[in-house]
Amino acid sequence: MKRLRQRWQTLRSVARSLRIYYGDRGHRKAMRILYGRFIRRDDLVFDIGAHVGDRIAAFRRLGARVVAVEPQPALVTTLRILYGRDRAVTIEPIALASSPGTLQLQLNLDNPTVATGSHAFVQAAYGAPGWEGEKWTKTIDVPAITVDALIERHGKPAFIKLDVEGLEADVIAGLSYAVPALSFEFTTLLPQVARSCVLHCANLGYARYNAILGEKHSFVHSEWLTSSEIAAWLSSLPLEANSGDIYAIHESGIRNQGSDASNQ
């Protein structure tokens, strides 16, 4: 009975996520414009933390080939239903980490898009503003590899999108290849995670940074910032800012960015 109830809970939450992320035409258009800055037709893109796959759809509309990484069984099934027949999409039902092995994934059955391999993230979220009611009530063990290993399997991507709910620094630590551009999610719950990501990116030679807050699709800053400037901006954010994404461009990956990286 408990297992049946959990399955129903998961199906209901996945259906809600599909409505949210696929039901807004304006959302689709904005993503096409945003990612069109970094992705060209036939580029390879890694979607790490693919969730229900709305970013896969955006990348495919741009003509990119996609490797979608998602360890949650229910979401893997969802992705296979949506994209399993698309030869340009490869679904990897694994997690990424700083080293290969096994990762304990904590599941939120009411909100699968915030599953996490970070115990610190779960602890910080309990009772925090904007996270009321979120509960991680089930754990599963999933195989994990590094981003470097993913590159060895599939080739070097033009862009990496990373959204793994508090584990971003661990995942980026497994990247030693400077790909042209990447993005990673940050939360104000764990500001040190984003700072660690910026530091690792800077060490790899990423020179220009910008940010998006929440689920918006326009950049916060009219000019691209240095690593120290984006780190200072992250430190200035109030807890209520909640989350967003940092975009980093390697000098080798600048494609007509310049002053065109302003708000849209």
C-beta separation of 64 from 86 below 8 A: no
CA atoms within 13 A on the CB side of 165: 27
pLDDT digits (tens, 9 = 90+) for 122-146: 999 988 888 888 999 999 999 999 9
Q: Which of 68, 66, 56, 67 is nearest to 31 (CA)?
A: 56
The full set of domain ranges for the chain reads: 22-97+143-260
Q: Which of 97, 48, 86, 42 is nearest to 68 (CA)?
A: 48
Q: Which of 187, 215, 179, 168 is nearest to 54 (CA)?
A: 215
Distance CA 142, CA 174 (A): 17
pLDDT digits (tens, 9 = 90+) for 193-212: 999 999 999 999 999 999 99
Q: Is the pLDDT at 259 greater than 60, yes or no?
A: no
User: In the chain, where do the E strands start and end?
Assistant: 44-48, 65-69, 89-92, 95-96, 101-107, 138-145, 159-162, 181-187, 206-213, 243-250
Q: Where is 236: in which H helix or E strand?
A: helix 227-236
Strands 181-187 vs 243-250: parallel, antiparallel or unpaired: antiparallel
Q: How high is the mean pLDDT of the chain? A: 91
Question: Looking at the DSSP assignment, which residues form a beta bridge with residue 46?
Answer: 67, 160
Amino acid in position 41: R
What's the CATH architecture for 22-97+143-260? Answer: 3-Layer(aba) Sandwich (3.40)
17-21, 43-47, 183-187: lowest mean pLDDT where?
17-21
Q: Which of 141, 106, 140, 111 is nearest to 123 (CA)?
A: 106
C-beta separation of 65 from 35 below 8 A: no
Which residue in this structure is represented by tokens 């129903």? 8
What mean pLDDT do residues 61-86 have? Answer: 96
Distance CA 167, CA 20 (A): 24
> What was the pLDDT predicted at 262?
38
Amino acid in position 250: H
> What was the pLDDT predicted at 25?
76
> What was the pLDDT predicted at 254?
58
36-50, 137-151, 239-253: lowest mean pLDDT where?
239-253
3-class DSSP assignment, residue 249: strand
Token code pair at residue 128: 């925090």
Q: Is the pLDDT at 63 greater than 70, yes or no?
A: yes
- Band the pLDDT of 44: cuts 50, 70, 90: very high
C-beta separation of 247 from 212 below 8 A: yes
- Band the pLDDT of 258: cuts 50, 70, 90: very low
pTM: 0.91
Would the CA dihedral through 211, 160, 216, 64 be positive or negative? positive
CA atoms within 13 A on the CB side of 218: 5
Token code pair at residue 258: 């310049």
